[in-house]
Chain A
Amino acid sequence: MLDPDSGLSLTIARIVQRLKGSSLHSQLERQARVSLHKPEIKLESLKEDIKDFLKTSGWEKKLQNAVYSELNVFPSPCHPAAPPEHMKEPLAYMRKAQGSWEKRILKSLNSMCTELSIPLAQKRPVNEQKELLNKWNEMGTDEPDLSLFRPVYAPKDFLEVLMNLRNPNYENGEQPSFRSHLGLIQVPLKVKDIPELKEDFSELGLNIGQLGIDDSAQVPPEFFENEHVRVGQKVLAEQDSAAAQQYVRQGCPTALRADLWALILNISNQPEDILYYEQLKSNVIQHDLLVDSLIYKDVKLTASNDDYYFVFEDYLYQVLLCFSRDTSVLEHFTYSSATPPKSYIRGKLGMEEYAVFYPPNGVIPFHGFSMYVAPLCFLYHEPSKLYQIFREMYVRFFFRLHSISSHPSGIVSLCLLFETLLQTHLPQLFYHLREIGAQPLRISFKWMVRAFSGYLATDQLLLLWDRILGYNSLEILAVLAAAVFAFRAVNLMEVTSLAAAEAVLADLSTLKVMPLLQIFLFATVT
C-alpha cells in the first residue's frame, strides 16, 4: 500500500495540521513566550532551551498525549490516489449497503414527521425557553406525551439488514458448501481466531494479575491489588496517556478509574471545554428538535426502567440533548462509513447555502442509545466532563456498533467473530442451536450493539469497558459473548426453542466478566 516512509510523513503532516488550530497549540505558544523571562533561557540556544523548559514543565507530555490521541482515533492515511470514501469504507458494496440503510432511516423519520405534523426542528418560543432553563437539572420530572413517537429503529431491525448483506463478487450459491457461512453473517471478512486473540489479549493471561479476578475477597491484597493501585497512582502522577492505556488492560481500581479514563481519552476539562458545553446547552434551549423527543422516549423506555441507572435520568437528558447539537461530532464521519443526514431550511429547498445537517451532530439515536451514556454517570458527576467523556467514547468506539463497515471493530466483524468462535470451539452447541432455529447471533446481537450496557452488573461492565479502552478495540465484546455461551453451554444444549434459549441467557447480571474471558481464551482446550 503506502511504503513506510511516505506513510509516516503523511501521518505527521495530518497530525500537525489537526493540532495546529487547537487550544493546546496556543497554550504551548503562551508557555514558550512566558518562559522567555526565565533566566535559564538563553538567546544563543533559544530553541533548545525552550524545548527543555517545555519538557520539564510537563507540557511536552501534554503534547505527547494529544499526538497519541490523534493516532488512536484516526486510521492510518490512505493511499494518495484513494478517494475520501475509501477512508470511510474501502469495500464498495458495504458503502452501498450503508447508504440504503441510511435512506431507510431517513424515510422512517420523515414519515413520522408527516404523520405527527411536527417539524424536524423549530425555534423554541421565549416562554418555553425560560421554562426549560428553569428545570434544566430536573428534566426527568417532565412527563410529555410520547405515546405517538416510536424509536426510528431497534437493534433487531439492524440485524436483519446485516443478515442480508452480500458481496456481489462472492459465490453465494444456493447449496451449502464450504464457502457458505453457517451463521447469520455471510460476508467473508477476516476475523481473528483464538491463537491470534491470545496474542492480542496477552495481558488477560492466566499468570497475569487482573482486577475482577485477583482482587476478590479470598485473595490477599498484597499479592496483586496493592501494587496495582500503587502503579495506577504513579501513572496518574506522570499524566502519560500511553502508559495509562497499557495499565488499564489489567483493570482500573475504582477510585482511579474516572481520572485514568479521562487521561486515556485526553480529556482535561479546561475552561473552554466548559464554555463549549454551556454553548451547547444554550443551543438546546433555543432550538427544539424532533430528535429530542426520540431521546426522551429512549431514556424513559430503557435507562429509567433499569435498576442501576434510573437515578441518572436527568444527567442522561443533559448529555444527550447537548450531544445532538454538537457539530464537532461531524468530524468522525471522515473515518466512519456513515454519512450525516442533510436537510434544507424551510422554504429554501435545493439552495446549497441553506443546506444543514440534521441533527447538527449527524447522529440519529436508536432504541437503546442512551445506554451508552448511563454507565459513565457512575464515574463522572460534573455534566461538562461527563459530556466530553461520552462524546470521545462515541467517536472512538460506539459509532462502529451501529454502522455497516468492514473495520475489525465494526459490528459486522464482531458478529462474524462471535459466530466463528462459537462454531470453532463449541461446534455441538452451535449445531444444536441452529437446528432448533435459535441462531446464536439472534441472542447475542443486542448485547454487542449496546456494548453489554444494561445486561451486566455495573462493576463488571466497567471492568469490560476498561479493556475496550486499553486495547482500543471492540473485539472483546464478541469474545465475551462467545464466553457467555460457553459458560451456559450445558443448559443451552437442553433447550428446544429460541424462546427457551433466550430465557437461559436472559439474565447476565450475576456473571463475572474477567474469569469468563480468561477461561475462554486461555483455559479452553482447543
Chain B
Amino acid sequence: MSGAAGPGPGPPAGPGRSPLPCAPRPAAALQLGGGAEPARPGVAVIDLRFPRGAAADVQEIVFRNFYTAFLSVRVQRPGPTGSRRWVTCLRDYCLMPCPHTEEGSQDYFSLRRHQMLCDMDQVTAVRFILRQPSPVWLHFTIEELQIFPPGQKSPQKDFPSWLSQLTPPEQPASLHGVGSVGTIAIVPGSPGGTSHPATPLPEPRAIQPIRAISAPQHRAHFFQELPDPEKVSTEVQQMWVLTEVIRARQAAARIGRFDVDGCYDINLLSYT
C-alpha cells in the first residue's frame, strides 16, 4: 500500500517498482506553546514509520507537492554506537522558488539517495519538516508519498527494439564444429514502443553470437544433399531479424482519418 498524506489516490508505481509499505500520519502544524487560538505558523511535520518497527534501506522518496516551499527530511537510523538516533539527511530543499507564487506548487518531486547528506540504510522512521513562509496560502502539505527501496531495476519491456545487423560473412561450408555464424545482436522484448512519454532509452544488450541450430558433426556427413543446416538457420535468423525490424518500425505518423468507415454524421457534442 502506498502512503498518502493527503487527499487523492496514490499514483501507480512505475514498472517493476513497488513502494515500501508505510503509514504516514497527516501533517501536524507546529504550535507555539501557550497560545489561545491556533496560529498558522508555517511549519508542519509529517512522521512516517514502517510497520512493525521494521527497518529499510531507502533509495528514493517520491511525492507530490501541495504549496510547501521548503522541505527538510530527517531519518531515524542506527548510529555508530548502535542506538537509534535522528539524522538530518536533507536541509531546506527548495520546492517553490518563489513562495508567494504558484511555481512548483503542485509538482511531483523525487529525492534520491545521492542527494542526501547521510546514509539511508536501516531507516526506521522518516520525518518530513515542511515550511511555507508565505501567509497567502491556506494549507500546505505533501501528498502521495512513496518510498522506494534500492535494487529494483525496471524490467526492460516496452522499449522500442532496434537492431544493428551486419550480414554474416560467408562461411566456408565447414560442417565441423558449431562455430558462431556471424554476430547478430538481438534485443529481446516486445518491439514497438507505446506512446508513453517516459519510455527509457534502451541499453544495447551484449552482442550474443547466435549459434546455429546445427546437427552434430557426424550427422552432416551422411546428409550432404540436404541444405546446410547452418546456412538455413542463418537465413531464418535473418528473416526473423527483418520481421522484428519491420514490426519495430511502427510509424508514429497518423493516417489522418477522422471519420468512422467514411461516415462523419454528428448531431450534438457530448459532455462527458
Contacts and interface: CB of A to CB of B under 8 A. Distances in A.
A346 B266 contact: yes
B269 A109 contact: yes
A148 interface: no
Nearest to A359: B258
B269 A1 contact: no
Contacts of B116: none
B203 to A, nearest CB: 10
A283 B198 contact: no
A520 to B, nearest CB: 23
A342 interface: yes
Interface in A108-164: 109-110, 113-114, 119-123
Contact of B109 (A1, A14, A20): A1
A9 B197 CA distance: 11
Given A121-B265, A188-B101, A283-B258, A79 B108 contact: yes
A3 interface: yes
Interface stretch (B132-140, B178-186, B221-229, B230-238): B132-140
Interface string A437-453: 00000000000000000
Contacts of A326: 256
Interface in B170-220: 193, 195, 197-201
Interface stretch (A165-173, A294-302, A378-386, A474-482): A165-173
Contacts of B264: 121-123, 287, 345, 356, 360
Interface in B60-105: 62, 64, 66-67, 97-98, 100-103, 105
Nearest to A357: B258
Contacts of A188: 100-102, 136
Contacts of B62: 79, 81
A343 B103 contact: no
Given A81-B62, A81-B108, A16 B265 contact: no
Contacts of A344: 266, 270
A276 interface: yes
A283 B260 CA distance: 13
B244 to A, nearest CB: 15
Contacts of B31: none
A328 B258 CA distance: 10
Interface string B124-142: 0000000000011111000
Contact of A81 (B11, B258, B260): B11
A36 interface: no
Contacts of A22: 252-253
Contacts of A90: 106-107
Contacts of B108: 1, 78-79, 81-82, 86
B265 A17 contact: no
A120 B199 contact: no
B153 interface: no
B268 A114 contact: yes
A190 B101 contact: yes
A358 B265 contact: no
A523 interface: no
B152 interface: no
Is chain A's binding surface mostly helix, strand, loop or mixed?
mixed
B110 interface: yes
User: Dominant SS at the B interface?
Assistant: loop
A10 B198 contact: yes
Nearest to B146: A81
B247 interface: no
Contacts, number: 179
Interface size band for A: 35 or more
B269 A358 contact: yes
A256 interface: no
Contacts of B270: 341-344, 349
Contacts of A110: 268-269
A353 B259 CA distance: 11
Interface string A1-14: 11100000110111
A109 B271 CA distance: 12
B39 to A, nearest CB: 15
B88 to A, nearest CB: 20
Contacts of B199: 13-14, 17
Contact of B136 (A179, A189, A280): A179
B259 A356 contact: yes
B257 A343 contact: no
B107 A79 contact: yes
Contacts of A80: 14, 198
Given A21-B252, A81-B11, A190-B101, A327 B257 contact: yes
A205 interface: no
A287 B260 CA distance: 12
B211 to A, nearest CB: 25
Nearest to A83: B11
Nearest to B66: A169
A436 interface: no
Interface in A359-407: 360, 406
B3 interface: no
Contacts of A276: 256
A1 B263 CA distance: 46
Nearest to A29: B249
A91 B138 contact: no
Given A13-B201, A80-B14, A3 B112 contact: yes
11 contacts: A81-B14, A81-B144, A91-B102, A91-B105, A122-B266, A170-B138, A283-B258, A327-B256, A342-B269, A343-B270, A344-B270
Q: What 4 pairs across the A-B complex have the smallest Cβ distances?
A: A21-B252, A360-B258, A21-B251, A79-B108
Given A109-B269, A169-B66, A279-B256, 8 more contacts: A16-B160, A17-B193, A90-B107, A169-B67, A342-B270, A344-B270, A345-B264, A356-B259
